[in-house]
């Protein structure tokens, strides 16, 4: 479908699902008997592209669907060649959202996006910067007076440190399990849901909260982004006993963009069942004071809207705000990826790995769901892949699609190094 500049939800034409089903059947007919048994066919409700794209998507999805995850949704955003200021989006749904009840993945299916939530948390900060209310150089301490933020080597944590994984905070707080029964002696599946503001403040004040001096090292930190999410929630909605992260995200970000399926993670009829090693597992349930690090669920259509706005499509006031998050922020890079730069939450790379334009990347992984998004801003091209399995191949599916379908493929000889997925996948 074509996304108009307003990014309003398009009217759904009667018969669209039937058309997608007919096209899917035609795709299956073009496959050999051997291939058709291995390559999945898009489910009803998919809004698919041309034959080349559809076959490429099906081949990529076959690496995961029915193997390390029962189901998958894929959203692709590309420039409309006839109207370059508009985006064309296609969505593909494969397999099952719930194996036990044979519920197929469809347009309304929600997946945990885990650490891709960090781009939403960063967007709250980017919006405040755009409004002249915050700067990257602001001290985190200036935003909360009920906690003493840790320092090291006479250096304090800034908002810019938090939004680029340069705060020095550890990946998870040392007291992550403190809300569990027994006071943290043992972990529990709801550890993050039970991790409230009081525990967050205690975690920040505890010895060892900082692994290095702020600004001196790149350390992937759910702790840092969870803290930033709480700071931003309090800045936008002060005076609450617990941070209103979900409410603030809906009011400031997802509401204006019409992303009705993107909410704080909680059981809904449309939420995919998470699977680990082929068996149902617990939701991450990251709904407490660390939600800014990985607490949202979303749909393929919604992620297409998020990607499109970040690439500059549409005339919503949020569009330039989201675009600004792709600007490099000077500072240290990961030791193993010295050519990587940081935007606000987005990891920025030069041409490499089969992509011949600079690109941005963010992924996420919960206990039984994975996701990955790649953007090629110069070409107005992006892809998001979401799966309901603990699959290490979800990133690879997205990368394969970027390599094969992004403009100006194939790329020149490799000039970069390293893997695109490193450190913690996050929450």
- Tell me the C-alpha distance between 265 and 278, whole Å: 21
What domain range includes position 138? 110-427
**Three-state secondary structure along 125-154?**
HHHHHHCCCCCCCCEHHHHCCCCCCCEECC
Query: Closest by alpha carbon to 381, among 354, 350, 408, 363?
Result: 408
Does some domain include residue 86?
no
Confidence of residue 411 (pLDDT cuts 50, 70, 90): very low
Q: Is the pTM of this model over 0.85?
A: yes
Predicted pLDDT of residue 408: 63
Confidence of residue 16 (pLDDT cuts 50, 70, 90): very low
Of residues 409 and 3, which shows the higher confidence score? 409
Domain count for the chain, please give it.
1
Task: Give the lowest-confidence range in 27-31, 117-121, 304-308.
Answer: 27-31
CATH number, domain with residue 416: 3.40.710.10
Does some domain include residue 313?
yes
Helix axes 222-236, 197-205, angle to 10 degrees: 130
Confidence of residue 332 (pLDDT cuts 50, 70, 90): very high
Does some domain include residue 103?
no
Does some domain include residue 399?
yes
Q: pLDDT digit string (tens) for 118-174?
A: 999 999 999 999 999 999 999 999 999 999 999 999 999 999 999 999 999 999 999
Does some domain include residue 77?
no
Q: Is residue 419 predicted with pLDDT exceeding 60?
A: no
Does some domain include residue 51?
no
DSSP output for 206-264: STTSBSS-TTSS----HHHHHHHHHHHHHHHS-S-SS--HHHHHIIIIITTTT-TT-EE
Does some domain include residue 47?
no
């Amino acid at each position: 479908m074509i996304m108009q500049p307003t990014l309003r939800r398009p009217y759904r034409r009667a018969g669209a699902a039937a058309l997608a089903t007919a096209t899917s059947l035609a795709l299956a007919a073009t496959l050999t008997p051997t291939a058709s048994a291995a390559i999945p066919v898009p489910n009803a409700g998919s809004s698919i592209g041309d034959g080349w794209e559809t076959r490429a998507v099906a081949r990529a999805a076959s690496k995961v669907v029915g193997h390390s995850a029962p189901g998958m949704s894929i959203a692709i955003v590309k420039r409309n060649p006839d109207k370059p200021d508009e985006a064309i989006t296609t969505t593909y749904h494969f397999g099952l959202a719930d194996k036990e009840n044979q519920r197929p993945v469809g347009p309304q299916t929600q997946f945990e996006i885990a650490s891709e939530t960090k781009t939403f948390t960063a967007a709250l900060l980017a919006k405040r910067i755009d409004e002249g209310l915050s700067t990257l150089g602001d001290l985190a301490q200036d935003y909360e007076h009920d906690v003493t933020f840790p320092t090291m080597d006479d250096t304090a944590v800034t908002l810019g440190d938090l939004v680029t994984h340069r705060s020095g905070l550890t990946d998870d707080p040392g007291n992550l399990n403190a809300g569990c029964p027994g006071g943290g002696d043992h972990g529990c599946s709801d550890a993050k849901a039970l991790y409230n503001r009081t525990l967050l403040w205690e975690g920040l004040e505890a010895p060892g909260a900082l692994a290095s001096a702020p600004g001196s090292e790149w350390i992937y930190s759910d702790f840092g982004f969870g803290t930033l999410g709480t700071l931003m929630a309090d800045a936008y909605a002060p005076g609450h006993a617990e941070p209103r992260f979900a409410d603030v995200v809906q009011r400031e970000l997802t509401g204006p963009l019409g992303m009705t399926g993107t909410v704080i993670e909680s059981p809904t009829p449309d939420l995919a069942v998470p699977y680990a090693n082929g068996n149902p597992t617990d939701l991450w349930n990251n709904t407490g004071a660390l939600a800014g690090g990985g607490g949202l669920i979303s749909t393929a259509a919604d992620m297409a809207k998020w990607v499109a706005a970040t690439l500059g499509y549409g005339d919503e006031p949020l569009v330039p705000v989201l675009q600004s998050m792709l600007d490099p922020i000077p500072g240290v890079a990961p030791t193993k990826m010295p050519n990587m730069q940081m935007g606000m939450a987005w990891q920025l790379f030069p041409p490499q790995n089969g992509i011949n334009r600079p690109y941005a990347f963010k992924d996420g992984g919960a206990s039984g769901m994975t996701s990955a998004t790649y953007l090629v801003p110069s070409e107005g091209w992006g892809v998001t892949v979401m799966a309901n399995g603990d699959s290490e191949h979800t990133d690879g599916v997205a990368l394969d699609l970027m390599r094969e379908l992004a403009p100006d493929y194939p790329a020149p000889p490799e000039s970069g190094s390293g893997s695109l997925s490193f450190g913690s996948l996050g929450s």
